[in-house]
Chain A
């Protein structure tokens, strides 16, 4: 059998093994900058069409008014978060004079033009990118609270993790007791788990969970959600705390990227 005939005869097997090999290599090269560049180009290339199809869904809405109202709402939410934080701070530090509290958020509105969604991956594609001053790791918020953060960005588009993505982690505190913990996705459904909270901690069902502000990525005081249920791990040192997110992820249409924030509660 001639080499060409052999290749033709075995082309399925050759294609299969090459495909498997390249896929495995890609899986192990995900942090490679070239892969990230190709990702950015691909999202940018498809972005135009994603925009158009998504726009079809919005024709029946009063879009401009909604955008304006949402922006106002988000600013009020952020201001409200800051004020709530300030009130709690005030309770604890009421004897201190010269208490200063300043907050300034620079927001950019991003329309969601695509979702990538399955049991583990929950991300959205936004119609804003580097040209609007959006960069990797910036916080993404809605009027209800923290929604996610920027994962990858191209010139005019960005991909953002949502809280329900398996890769998402954020440092938080119980707003009432100031007990810290780490929020992550609950492995299934649309709930979050508050981890690293020691047994016998004073947390209760209904407590509000907010960002701690310890990381430089997220402003402090952003609402994450409310504690829905609490139980103790049988063997571990920590509690099992389930948190209901404040953001309704099934209704997301626009979000706000926090370009810069400056919170000084102390």
Chain B
């Protein structure tokens, strides 16, 4: 039942990522809604389901772009693997700690994604870091914070990894 429910949730997230989220873009910087849903699943159902959903959602999302297929899934898997280690009950009580955790997790995702996507564009690591990795991570974090404030249970555990 959960598989069906979350498949539907991911389908909706992917459709929104491709249709409505670009409306919020600031100089081509967009929040990654699909990754936010993946992280919410890690919080809810643990690392294993986070890895599975992160991989599948990443591959599907990559099919809609012109970059390498497999990059988003790789970024998702590495970030989820990290997240699974560090999630703990303190995040439910300390909002800033939760934000810091989400930011580092998003940073890991983007530090995997952007260097691979930028291959061939001759952009250096630091310009890439400051112009793409950090802005995308910050913007995704802002969206996560908004979602958390709107739906506090989104990043609360039902079962920790």
Contacts and interface: CB of A to CB of B under 8 A. Distances in A.
Contact of B22 (A22, A39, A49, A117): A117
B22 A120 contact: no
A119 B18 contact: no
A16 B77 contact: yes
Given A27-B74, A42-B60, A125-B64, A120 B132 contact: yes
Contacts of B64: 42-43, 46, 114, 116, 123, 125, 159
Interface string B13-26: 01110111010010
Contacts of A53: 15-16, 19-20
A152 B66 CA distance: 8
Contacts of B142: none
Given A24-B74, A115-B22, A164 B28 contact: yes
B117 interface: yes
Binding site secondary structure of chain B: helix
Given A12-B51, A25-B70, A187 B117 contact: no
Interface string B69-89: 111011001100100100000
Nearest to B15: A49
A12 B66 CA distance: 30
Nearest to B58: A23
B48 interface: yes
A166 B121 contact: yes
A118 interface: yes
A39 B68 CA distance: 11
A133 interface: no
A87 to B, nearest CB: 36
Interface in B116-135: 116-118, 120-123, 127, 131-132, 135
A12 B25 contact: no
B30 A20 contact: no
Q: Which of A12, A23, A125 counts the most B-chain CB atoms under 10 A from its CB?
A: A23
Given A20-B74, A27-B70, A125-B18, A42 B63 contact: yes
B67 A121 contact: yes
A71 B132 CA distance: 36
Contact of A117 (B30, B59, B120, B161): B30
Given A24-B74, A118-B132, A125-B18, A43 B63 contact: yes
A29 B123 CA distance: 24
A262 interface: no
Interface in B100-149: 114, 116-118, 120-123, 127, 131-132, 135-136
Interface string A223-244: 0000000000000000000000
Given A12-B84, A122-B28, A23 B74 contact: yes
Q: Which of B11, B121, B123, B136 counts the most A-chain CB atoms under 10 A from its CB?
A: B121
Contact of B69 (A39, A54, A164): A39
Q: List the 3 shortest-distance A-B pairs measured between CB atoms, nearest first.
A: A26-B70, A114-B18, A116-B65
Interface of A: 11-12, 15-16, 19-20, 22-27, 29-30, 35, 38-39, 42-43, 46, 49-50, 53-54, 57, 113-123, 125, 151-152, 159, 161, 164-167, 185, 187-190, 250
Interface of B: 11, 14-16, 18-20, 22, 25, 27-30, 47-48, 51-52, 54-55, 58-61, 63-71, 73-74, 77-78, 81, 84, 114, 116-118, 120-123, 127, 131-132, 135-136, 161
Given A116-B64, A123-B64, A166-B118, 8 more contacts: A23-B59, A27-B116, A30-B70, A116-B65, A120-B67, A159-B64, A159-B66, A161-B66
